Structure 1
Amino acid sequence: MVLNYTEAPLIPRPRNTPALCVLVSSDPVLRDTAAASLTLTSPGVAVVRHDLLPDAGALRRVVVDATGVVEEVTVGLAHPCVSCSVREDAVPTLARLAAAGRWTDLVLALPVTAEPLPVARALSAHASPGEMLDGLRLTATVAVVDLDQVEADLLGDDLVDERGLALTDTDERPLGEALAAQLEQVDVVVTTGDDPTGDGLTDRLRARDSRRIDGLHELDVAALATHRHDSAAAEGRAHPLGARDARRDPTNPHDRSWSLLLKSPRPFHPERLLAHIEHLGTGPVRSRGVFHVPDRPDSLCLWDGAGGALCVADLGTWQEVAAGRPPVTRILVVGAGEPAESEKVRDLILDAFGESLATGAEVDDGGLHWLGREDVLAPWLGARAV
């Protein structure tokens, strides 16, 4: 255990409270390289790096700055999960470092494959007036990705536990799911590598209002400090209603990425959806959006697929979740491949989408067609409200 930092007495927090950004990655080498780059180029930066140790029910915390390792401890957690690590360790640690007056900026490097949104949400709450991080400015959430690995990691079928990157003993997420969530949610995407298809996939997934920085040498904490994390915008990016076809460079002939927006006011026919779901929702694609079904007319349903796996769920009513906007079936699909292969995949998806939609005759009778029918989606969406 190294505790050089605590040799200096704590002093009241200065007027210019340090700015805070959150760093995520699905690659442990990239995360640590980015963290080291920030400390080497900015002497006033301290990085708090978290790594979960599920087998030990603990967390390893390492604090580094330009002088080297300032603090390294292993902390027991009630539950080895990201939310617990933030609540039990990150918040008091960041408050202590901010109060020391030794650093101008703080960086919280999350465990590899962790989602940024839940952590940013918690930090924003704790930065409210009167809370432990009162006055600390959450500037940006930042994801670091290797363009040379994006296609394989996003569209492959590896699980996080197969890569040794699971956050808990029961974490069986596809690696593509973890990578997609990071790209879709953050304020800033930092890239390394130069693969054109990885470049295209990254731009198709990252939020329209996000910023992109190419090269770790361009990652500057002072520039990040000019940002101000917008919690409402971040929530909107993460919500499946926020899935939008994003920007890309159409002039790059070597980019094999593609996207397909499936949209209709009609609901899915439950039985036909199950019959066509293999072509519509699995395989080497990232798909995200919402749908509705006629036997649950008020339900807004989640569609979230990556790494060959698909999650569907009932998120609540359209009135509650979507502010009463009309129900829609809307799914953004992103993939990559050679032109002929990609065209075949897109055609299969389009055919499956069309075949899965209910016809006008099936929905124009006010729901009578569905009375007394078996709820075949109940195993995934839960029991229907009575």
Structure 2
Amino acid sequence: MAVTDKHRVPLVLIAGLSPDAGSDLAGRLRGDDRGTAVVHHDLRQIGSGVVLRRLRLGPRESLTTLELAHGCVSCTLREDLLPLLRTLARRPEVRRIVVHLDEAMEPEPVCWAVHHLIVGDRPVIDDVQIEAVVTAVDAGSWLADATGDDTMADRGLRAAADDERTVAQVALSQVEFADVLVLSGAAPDAWTAARTGAVLERVAPSVPILQASAVDTATLRSAVPAHARRGEPTDVHGALLRGEPPLHADCGVAVLPFFAQRPFHPQRLHEAIDVLLDGVVRTRGRAWVASQPDAAFWVESAGGGLGIGHAGAWLDSPGAPAWEDVSPERRTLASLRWHPRFGDRAQELVVVTHQAEPRDIEATLNAALLTDEELAAGPAAWTRYPDPFGEWHTDPCEDGELGGTHDVNASPGKEETE
């Protein structure tokens, strides 16, 4: 039997690339409350199968060395964090749990695990209630991280041996999934501060921003908006932006919504794909590729990395889920764009630029769509087009080869750890 909300212990997750900013925020949320447990897993030695877990509760503090069979985030979650959350939630002296995530971790896969992975006989969400996901943003370094080409391996921050994520991908996913952003430190100059604000306002338009010096538990709780997702995983067929970002450019930062109801030519899309990398902060969205007419694709770029992977079937395709089995949000969006010939198939991308000209990106994407003549030829002709896209395609690709596969349905654009 599921535990009712009033018996579930509030859980706050803190994410962010700056360990100092995250640690400071965790300390502020702990305050003098002896009923707040603070948990942190240090993954710096995870490649050797070793994780250091720090637990603070009341006046007590413990440091535990965990030796895992496989050095990855998934094992840390399954073998230690999830069971620990259940144990803490059952202790009568624990009134709130704060999990300070390692900088290599993205909050969405953690929240997915809390909701869905079984520990004992049920998921941990029966014991805890996600009160907020908070991301600590270092004003001095976040913009460079979000627009750079470094990989997590370059920073010594791999979450697993095969972790190929970019720092930009992690920086952006941590911000986009947050219910509240906490800004710490100072930008090196006014221009960087203004550009950082412009990017944050466009990639996370509905997320309130607090200054770290003013944060405590009460101010944080009051800042969480009523529409906050509070750990609910992303629906790849849902709205691409939560909120309404400014559509005007600011400090060279702009939002380009791209929509079309005809498919991309696979080869021309492959040739055009770099337009979503150069001078672009972030791309997220769904694509319809002519050579695979029944597959919705998920497109995501950040920094110098881009991936395109399957996101399931369109509702109008033979392998589609039943209408009543998908989310109300997906049904509404599909109804609004339904085409008498193509159903819910469409191109829907949101591109946030910081150096590129949005009109150039739009023109390049339009040129990759099927022409009127190609469109009239129909699906039988489209499926014969040479197709450089597999289930998961990454750019830059080497010698025309495709990257590894990735299950976008599980967690779009997020790391797989095994």
Task: Give yes or no for TM over 0.5.
Answer: yes
Secondary structure (helix, strand or coil) at the match of 1:296 reads: coil
Aligned mate of 1:82, from 73, 79, 84: 73
Q: Residue 329 of structure 1: which of 347, 358, 362 is its match? A: 347
Instruction: Looking at secondary structure, tell me which structure has more helix per residue.
Output: 1
2:275 is equivalent to residue 279 of structure 1: yes
- Name the stretch that deviates more: 175-184 or 32-41: 32-41
2:239 pairs, out of 239, 242, 267, with 242
Residues 348, 250 of structure 1: alpha-carbon distance in 2 compared, 3 angstrom cutoff: closer
**CA offset at residue 283 of structure 1?**
4.7
CA distance in 2, matches of 1:95, 1:260: 43
Does residue 351 in structure 1 map to residue 363 in structure 2? Answer: yes
Judge conservation of contact 1:139–1:224 (CA < 8 Å) in 2.
no
CA gap 1:43/1:199 in 2 versus in 1, 3 angstroms: farther
Q: Confirm or deny: 8 A CA contact 2:204 2:241 kept in the other structure.
A: no
Q: Which of 136, 144, 149 pairs up with 1:157?
A: 149
Aligned pair in 2 of structure 1 residues 24, 232: CA closer, same or farther (>3 Å)?
closer
Tell me by how many angstroms 1:327 deviates.
0.9
TM superposition shift of 1:318: 0.9
Give the corresponding residue for 1:37: 28
Task: Give, as a single letter, the amino acid of the residue that structure 2 aligns with 1:169.
Answer: A
How many Å apart are 1:72 and its aligned residue?
0.6
Point out where structure 2 has 5 or more consecutive residues left out of the alignment: 1-5, 188-192, 335-343, 394-401, 406-418
Quote the residue 1:361 is aligned against.
373
* Within-5 A mapping of 1:96-245: 96-125=87-116, 131=122, 133=124, 134-192=126-184, 193=186, 195-206=193-204, 208=206, 211-222=207-218, 224=220, 234-236=232-234, 239=236, 241-244=238-241
Cα shift at 1:223: 5.1
Give the share of equivalent positions with the same residue, in percent. 27
The TM-score normalised by the length of structure 2 is: 0.76
Deviation (angstroms), 1:271: 1.5
Root mean square deviation of aligned Cα = 3.2
SS at match of 2:294: strand
- Structure 1: which 5+ residue stretches go unaligned? 1-14
8 Å contact kept, 1:39–1:64: no
Q: In 2, are the aligned partners of 1:24 and 1:143 still within 8 Å (CA)?
A: yes
Equivalent-residue separation in structure 1 for 2:247 and 2:297 (angstroms): 33
Q: Does 1:293 align with 2:305?
A: no
Paired with 2:123 and 2:304, the residues of 1 have a C-alpha distance of 42
Q: Shift of the alpha carbon at 1:43?
A: 4.3
- Alignment: residue pair count: 358
Tell whether the 8 Å contact from 1:58 to 1:75 is kept in structure 2 after alignment. Answer: yes
Asked if structure 1 preserves the Cα contact closer than 8 Å seen for 2:114 and 2:123, the reply is no
User: TM-score scaled by structure 1?
Assistant: 0.81
Match runs of 1:46-61 below 5 Å: 46-52=37-43, 53-61=45-53
How far apart, CA to CA, are the structure 2 residues paired with 1:252 and 1:243?
19
AA aligned to 2:241 is R
Distance 1:161 1:240, change over 3 A: farther
In the aligned structure 1, how far is the partner of 2:312 from the partner of 2:7?
Answer: 42
How far off is 1:240 after superposition?
6.5
- Do the aligned residues in 1 keep the contact of 2:276 with 2:283 (CA within 8 Å)? no
- For the residue of structure 1 that corresponds to 2:296, the secondary structure is strand
- The SS at the match of 1:163 is coil
Residues 1:263 and 2:268 aligned together: no
> 1:245 Cα deviation (Å)?
7.8
Check conservation: 2:236, 2:311, Cα contact below 8 A. Answer: no
Give deviations 1:134-153, integer Å, cap 9, x for gaps.
Answer: 44222111111123323211
| Residues 33-66 of structure 1: per-residue CA shift (max 9 Å, x gap) | 2112222364432210012222320221101246
Gap change, CA 1:86 and 1:231, over 3 Å in 2:
farther
